[in-house]
Structure 1
Amino acid sequence: MDQLIVAGRWLRRRAENISALLLVAMFVCFIVQIVSRYVFNRPLGWTDEVSVLLWIWCVLWGAAFLLRERDEVRFDIIYSASSERTRRIFTIVTGIAAIALFGIALPAVFAYVTFLKVEKSAYLGIRLDYLYSIYVVFSLAVIVRYAALTWQAIRGKAPDLGQGGSAL
């Protein structure tokens, strides 16, 4: 079990590294666009495209692999004021709903992303199925995350909301 924890921490740090690299690349594209537009008076279209795609990957990558339950933003006035048993029930209901909705949508998401192989990005010419494949990964991660949260709630543990008992 200790090896799994160590491996999990190592994988999380690598996911953080990838997220940081995505942000650095997005920032570099932003600076290149500013210099190109305002110093040389020659705006570049590809920098906008790359920045948007990096942002999509950064957000979905982070949500899939880095976001913890206590980090999620929510309005939880009722949840925080409820007993632990009621919070577990809320967690089970929302977990089952999330698993069901993402599970029902997953075949359509996969079909749409694979359909995008016929389209290419405007400036770089990269197949869109490669660019938007992160959404399939995100959807699978949401299903796994909520399955784990639901299982923990069924076994008697309410989700950790961090310090103060409230996420917001």
Structure 2
Amino acid sequence: MSQHSANESRWGRWIDSLEETVIALILGLMTLVTFVNVVLRYVFNSSLIWGLEVVLILFAWLVLLGISYGFKKTSHLGVDAVTNLLPHTGQRVLALISAAACLAYAALLMKGAWDYWAPFAALQPTDGRWFPMGMAEGVRDRAFYVTDQVPMLDIFRWLEDAINYGESYDKLPRVIPYAILPFGCALILLRVVQASWRIVTGQQSSLIVSHEAEEDVERIAHGEYEE
């Protein structure tokens, strides 16, 4: 293995570890907040008033990051009853068509995510229904919109001068939790591009989970594995 390949491998493992850690932390925080809220409610007759909203926000982050990670690891489920009946060439053609469809969908998702989030950051959405045709003009920003119950964190006070014309926030501005939309969709688009390239170059057969587990079971059934 060359030094360049070794560096790429180390970088890839570091990225994998980072993504898995972030996903695990989000899942852990969801569990912790929910558990604390249940204890407070049934033991102390109290609750974290912002608990449910925070869990919903974390769940949205978890889903979008999980989608991109699923494309990266080829762990999305799919129905391949028809494609398995086709010869290898037919399967490859359908895999390429599926990849093209996913690329188009991911690109539209990215545009929609930006257009939805941008006004909350006092930025302009794009023009055009299907493709970005430039930046829209005269769109009223929504930077003053805040969450329902999540308290404002001091580390985000700089946003008051940056996008809210110096007005203070009494709750966390929506631009923070909604930031997962453009970030997550950009990551999904990147992972779909990477997965599609692996299909084009023959490194991967499809976008859905492989059947290695089923093949292992068949090998065991036929006695191909030794104890």
TM normalised by structure 1 equals 0.85
Runs of 4+ off more than 3 Å = 65-70
- 1:129 paired with 2:172, answer no
Instruction: State the shift of 1:152 in Å.
Output: 2.8
Partner of residue 75, structure 1? 79
Listed as ranges, the matches of 1:38-117 within 5 Å are 38-65=42-69, 67-117=71-121
Secondary structure, counterpart of 1:109 in structure 2 = helix
Query: Which residue of structure 1 lines up, in the alignment, with residue 199 of structure 2?
Result: 153
Tell me the amino acid that sits aligned with residue 86 of structure 2: S
1:126 is paired with a residue of what secondary structure? Answer: strand
| 124-133 vs 65-74, which moves further | 65-74
Q: Deviations over 1:34-67 (max 9, x none)?
A: 0111112223321101111111112212222355
User: What's the % identity of the aligned pairs?
Assistant: 21
The aligned amino acid for 2:182 is V
TM-score, L = length of structure 2: 0.65
Query: Once the 2 structures are TM-superposed, how far is the Cα of residue 143 of structure 1 from its aligned partner?
Result: 2.0
C-alpha spacing 1:69/1:23, structure 2 compared with 1 (3 Å): closer
Structure 1 window deviating more from structure 2 (140-149 vs 85-94): it is 140-149
Unpaired stretches in structure 1, ≥5 consecutive residues: none
Tell me the secondary structure at the aligned position of residue 123 of structure 1.
strand
Query: Do 2:49 and 2:149's aligned partners in 1 also have CA atoms closer than 8 Å?
Result: yes
What secondary structure is seen at the aligned counterpart in 1 of 2:101? helix
Q: Counterpart in 2 of 1:7?
A: 11
| Cα 1:153/1:23, change in 2 over 3 Å | closer
Report the count of equivalent residues.
Answer: 165
- Residue of structure 1 aligned with 2:29, choices 25, 29, 35: 25
Paired with 1:122 and 1:108, the residues of 2 have a C-alpha distance of 24
* Cα distance in 2, alignment partners of residues 45 and 97 from structure 1: 42
CA offset at residue 30 of structure 1? 0.6
Partner AA of 1:120 in structure 2: V
Give CA-to-partner distance per residue, 1:149-168, whole Å, 9 cap, x none: 33233334423614137xxx
Give ranges in structure 2 of 5+ residues lacking alignment: 122-142, 151-170, 216-227
Take 2:178 and 2:44, find their aligned partners in 1: how far apart are those partners?
Answer: 32
One-letter amino acid of the counterpart of residue 25, structure 2: L
- 1: CA distance, partners of 2:202 / 2:103: 19
Pair 1:109–1:151, CA change in 2 (3 A): same
